[in-house]
Structure 1
Amino acid sequence: MVQLDSKAAVVDTPKPAVAYAVQEQPLGTTRHIRIVCIGAGVSGLNLIRTLRRSLTDYEVVVYEKNTDVGGTWLENRYPGCRCDVPSHSYQFSWRPKKDWPNFFSGAEEIREYLCRVCDEEGMRDSIRVLHQVTAAQWNEKDGQWELVIRNLETGEDFRDYATFLVNGSGILNDWKWPDVEGLDAFQGTLIHTARWPADFDHSGKTIAVIGNGSAGIQVLPELQPGAEKLYHIIRTPTWVLPPRIKAWEAMGQAGDVLKTIQMDEEENFSEETIAKFQSDPEFYRQFVKKVEVEVNNAFPVVLAESKIQAFARGEVTKYMTAMLHGNETLCRTLIPDFPLGCRRMTPGHGYLAALTKPNVEVRKAGIRRFIPEGIELDTGEVLKVDAIICATGFDTSFCPRFPIIGRNGNLQDQWKASTPQAYMSCAVAGLPNYFTFLGPNAPIGHGSVVTLAEHIAQYITAAIRKCQTQGIRSLAPSQAAVDDYAAHVAAFMPRTTWAARGRSWFKSGREDGPVTALHPGSRIHFFHMLAEWRGEDWELGYVPPGRFGYLGNGFSVRELEEGVDSTWYLDQ
């Protein structure tokens, strides 16, 4: 593998060797740039589209390690996998889909939607599948990123470069096995939900499902009916939400429009409703906007000690108790004693009901080790099983999978040694011309990441355009700005239940500790925060002849380019 130097010296932005000289170009002239994006999921596709609408004189390539676009919706194909955000919120605002079959779409439907958007928008020319970025280093002298790319088909490495590097690889992407002894000792079928084998038949088998995050909650009721015996092993209880449609109909702002929607018990839309979505644009628009309002309104529930938190906790407790048929053992095991929101709140279609079935047993225990015939718990009990399903999630440490070497060394080393910190989740101190989707303290748990990606793409693209047209060679948030933002995050989080004691991937799997995975505010708060670019928070370097070289020869492209309205200001 090609190696990059993790201790490269920092070189100051080159100064012009001669006296200041006027550039013979009009104000607004663009500099040609090359943009590399990592990942062709929701974020990567959004970036391609936003760049096309906002920039000229650029080239972009998206490197995707998988065989196709889709990101997490390509990788996660376990039975029951679906989005817990309403379908009509989990779509590009610029590419509405009016024939979603279900209120909450399945993984395959979302993947097909993303592939269709990619094909119909002609994006595949910009995407290289089965290509993985394995190293990145900032070259101060040349003002660009030097990259190492691995062709996963051939195994060969090659070099590339980028004026701007954008990381759209996502947070729930790097799946992991449980950290237990004897992982290779088990002689049955071992499966991770993020690598589900298409030919696995669970019928008649004794199965252990490890984990009660969203994947465990979704896959268990799919396996229960056909399994001979099913053991569900959990460490921490979790809040399982009642059907949100009923709550929104009764109390939410979407109540009126939801009452006009026809759905069956599985929340599938009727043919009549889908036809109305397609034939009545205003009805469809109002439905989408009302659903989006409900998604946005979820934030007050996680405010600690609030009345709405107390009310919601009481209602969810009643729901879980009823679904568990009041079974004291199950209620004591499964209903948390921590507040709503400490862990991700997950709707569980059929999950609680499945736990009451005679072929299901719940074990709240740690795992001592895997053994050839199954699992030994830390209680000493041995569970003999045919298959182990690991719904054990992902590496949510934010530590990059590959070295990203900037002005201060390797980001991997920095974020292993201390809490990951980013500027408004989008950029990192010491990494010039580097942006990320859903970095530390992004609103990953606040609702649809599709809408989030649109706003982040617009923010990134605006910064890139500023560099491209104003002679900015490099930009990175200052360490002082990142420190100040981190101080705000740390001071705010105790106001929320996210910071309450309890094991959560919001805190990198710890009981206590800093909340690294969530934004300190609502979705609207995040959108508002990104609406303006704060130049005072950034360190800029310029191409020669310097800060005002971009002013050029005294003319503007607004008066010289053919077809441009040079009196636009009279229309404002």
Structure 2
Amino acid sequence: MDDTNGYGAAAKASYAIREEPLGTPKHVRIVGIGAGASGINLIRTIRKNMVNYEHVVYEKNEKVGGTWFENRYPGCRCDVPSHNYQFSWRPNPEWSNFLSPAPEIQEYLSRICEEEHMMDTIKLRHKVNGAWWDEKRGLWDLSVQNLETGEEFKDYANFLVDASGILNNWKWPEYPGIKSFKGDLVHTASWPKDFDYSNKTVAVIGNGASGIQLLPAIQPDVKKLYHFIRTPTWIIPPRRITMLLMGGPAKEVLEDLGLDEDENFSQEQIERFKTDPAFYQKFVKAIERDIGGAFPILVNGSPAQADVNAKAAMTMTRLLGGDKKLCEALIPKFPLGCRRVTPGPGYLEALQTPNTELVMEGIARVVPEGIQLESGKVIKLDAIMCATGFDNSFAPPFPIVGRHGNVQDTMKAETPKSYMSLALAGLPNYFTFMGPNAPIGHGSVFTLGEHVARYITRLMIKCQTEGIKAVAPSDAAVDDYARHVAAFMPRTSWSGSCRSWFKSGDGEGGAVTALHPGSRFHFFHMLDRFRGEDWEYVLDDDENPGRNRFYYLGNGFSTKELDPKVNVTWYLDEDADRL
């Protein structure tokens, strides 16, 4: 009789008990890329939940904050209400405005890093230049550059977490001759400090969120402003006004706020937020329900979509004074939400001022003295301001080489796809915030990032404590998820006939790659449970005959019973039966 699978001599010879308690974590090194909101939150999540680890975050800029450090153009602010555009674990009752300006958000993130002593984890002015997976060692080999000294050095990681974000790698528009321009050429994501545009003839190219915010901020101070756009876009009233008009969950609490005409909070209102926690919590939760509940307006054919499209068109017509030419040029035929929905206080009004001219004719090239249109006409300019966005291809700016080769090549050759936006096929022990089909248009990325960080951290702990060397989503799971995304997106306005960075490629018919296939609440629900069946595992010392998948069970004791700080009878607690 073969006793290999029983308790006989053969079993004793081929398998050894791990002489450590169940739950004992092995030492791991975690490398993060980027110290924006997601990277900062990950530091805290790891600190609260993991032990026996090293963690370093490489940040290319001289300060933390990510997009809120890089974007400093006039008028730059968040388009999500301030008190929801914050970490749930770090409420700030002192936001100055209903929609906070960029410097205030960057200061909030900097203050957290200082007060939470995170700067010992973050290496500023350091840039990751490449990452290569070593299958045998189960490690990422990294090339990192110190941007202060120019020195390039090697590092390694058990886990590599990319928190550099989707709105990170800005790009110039691809017009012939753009570098030949003799005036000031600036990009909204790289705004020169103390740049003086007053009394100049300028161009603003682009009517995405940045262009919509920039134009009314500079219009009163320039001599002449030419606004170049390719397609119309929906402009909605200020977010607070929209919430009041739609009569959603936030209506009651918004009517009880102390705000001036520019939506700055009064000092009395700020004091109430600070001293009345019940009201503060009611306010934050009502705004969150309102934002999260907006998904029905994006569902094609829904009554909510028809209603909001009609109201938005009427509002734009009124703000444009009924001007037929401007209404025809600026009010879209595609459904609201096909492009990013942006509140644009003052934008439509600025387009009607004497010193502003809307240009919808195509740009043929940039010449030394200005912009040449397709008709041959040259518009002479002192400055060209490009609000033309970012490289949203999901191809990383440096090589990431895994089991299937370089991700840069894959992302350019195929429609980008991921596992629930946070992992990629063929990249073991690699996780990302806001990867393909992340909920980038679903409200505050702060809270979204918290859910992703918890998911990633739980998975790293699983590897740490269950003898797993490498984990990656299976190709089949990633392919199945991509099929679900592709089948779902035609139900939404995101797939409408518009040019949008939500889609792969520049055309109108590209696949929607930058948004989650569902609501904000749907995304949170999806990440509630870890689907182990979707992942492939390589065990520590996989070829060692003295170990198997249950080696981690150890010597019969549990770290929960041996740690005096742990509630050893947790199973008797009041909520112990909650799943």
- TM score, norm. by length of structure 1: 0.96
2:529 aligned with 1:532, yes or no? Answer: yes
Q: Distance in 1 between matches of 2:353 and 2:518?
A: 40
2:178 aligned with 1:183, yes or no? Answer: yes
Instruction: String of CA shifts for 1:144-197, please: whole Å, max 9, x gaps.
Output: 100000110111110000000000000011000010000111111111011111
Equivalent position to 1:517, from 493, 514, 518 = 514
Q: Distance in 1 between matches of 2:567 and 2:297?
A: 50
2:149 aligned with 1:147, yes or no? Answer: no
Once the two structures are superposed, the pairs formed by residues 78-89 of structure 1 within 5 Å of their partners are: 78-89=73-84
- Tell me the residue number matched to 1:551: 553
Contact 2:32/2:163 (<8 A) preserved: yes
2:287 aligned with 1:291, yes or no? Answer: yes
2:336 aligned with 1:334, yes or no? Answer: no
2:482 aligned with 1:480, yes or no? Answer: no
| 3-state SS of paired residue (1:124) | coil
2:118 aligned with 1:108, yes or no? Answer: no
RMSD of aligned residue pairs (Cα, Å): 1.0
Q: Which piece of structure 1 moves more, 123-132 or 539-548?
A: 539-548
Q: 1:374 to 1:563 in 2, by over 3 A?
A: closer
- Could you tell me how far 1:553 is from its partner in structure 2? 1.3
- Could you tell me how far 1:563 is from its partner in structure 2? 4.1
Q: Distance in 2 between matches of 1:349 and 1:322?
A: 14
Q: Which amino acid aligns with 2:477?
A: A
- Tell me the residue number matched to 1:6: none
The percentage of aligned residue pairs carrying the same residue is 61
- Could you tell me how far 1:249 is from its partner in structure 2? 2.3
Instruction: String of CA shifts for 1:492-520, please: whole Å, max 9, x gaps.
Output: 00000101111000013321111000000
Q: Which piece of structure 1 moves more, 509-518 or 426-435?
A: 509-518
Q: Distance in 2 between matches of 1:336 and 1:445?
A: 19
| 3-state SS of paired residue (1:62) | strand
- Could you tell me how far 1:61 is from its partner in structure 2? 0.2
Once the two structures are superposed, the pairs formed by residues 310-389 of structure 1 within 5 Å of their partners are: 310-389=306-385
- Could you tell me how far 1:418 is from its partner in structure 2? 0.4
- Tell me the residue number matched to 2:461: 465
Q: Which amino acid aligns with 1:543?
A: D
- Tell me the residue number matched to 2:418: 422
Q: Which amino acid aligns with 2:113?
A: C
Q: Distance in 1 between matches of 2:364 and 2:528?
A: 50
Q: 1:564 to 1:104 in 2, by over 3 A?
A: closer
Once the two structures are superposed, the pairs formed by residues 110-149 of structure 1 within 5 Å of their partners are: 110-149=105-144
2:499 aligned with 1:497, yes or no? Answer: no
Q: Distance in 2 between matches of 1:360 and 1:323?
A: 16
| 3-state SS of paired residue (1:114) | helix
| 3-state SS of paired residue (1:225) | helix
Q: Which amino acid aligns with 1:507?
A: K
| 3-state SS of paired residue (1:506) | coil
- Tell me the residue number matched to 2:562: 560
- Tell me the residue number matched to 2:249: 253
- Could you tell me how far 1:20 is from its partner in structure 2? 2.1
- Tell me the residue number matched to 1:43: 38
Contact 2:236/2:242 (<8 A) preserved: no
For structure 2, the residue ranges without an aligned partner over 5 or more in a row are: 1-12, 542-546
2:206 aligned with 1:206, yes or no? Answer: no
Q: Distance in 2 between matches of 1:95 and 1:564?
A: 25
- Could you tell me how far 1:272 is from its partner in structure 2? 1.0
Equivalent position to 2:443, from 431, 442, 447 = 447
Q: Distance in 2 between matches of 1:436 and 1:446?
A: 17
- Tell me the residue number matched to 1:9: none
Q: Which amino acid aligns with 1:187?
A: K
- Tell me the residue number matched to 1:7: none
Q: Which amino acid aligns with 1:33?
A: V
Q: 1:84 to 1:23 in 2, by over 3 A?
A: same
- Could you tell me how far 1:567 is from its partner in structure 2? 3.0
Q: Distance in 2 between matches of 1:261 and 1:553?
A: 60
- Could you tell me how far 1:382 is from its partner in structure 2? 1.2
Q: Which amino acid aligns with 2:559?
A: V
How many residues are aligned here? 555
- Could you tell me how far 1:327 is from its partner in structure 2? 1.0
Q: Distance in 2 between matches of 1:562 and 1:253?
A: 45
Equivalent position to 2:234, from 228, 234, 239 = 239
For structure 1, the residue ranges without an aligned partner over 5 or more in a row are: 1-17
Once the two structures are superposed, the pairs formed by residues 48-67 of structure 1 within 5 Å of their partners are: 48-67=43-62
| 3-state SS of paired residue (2:220) | coil
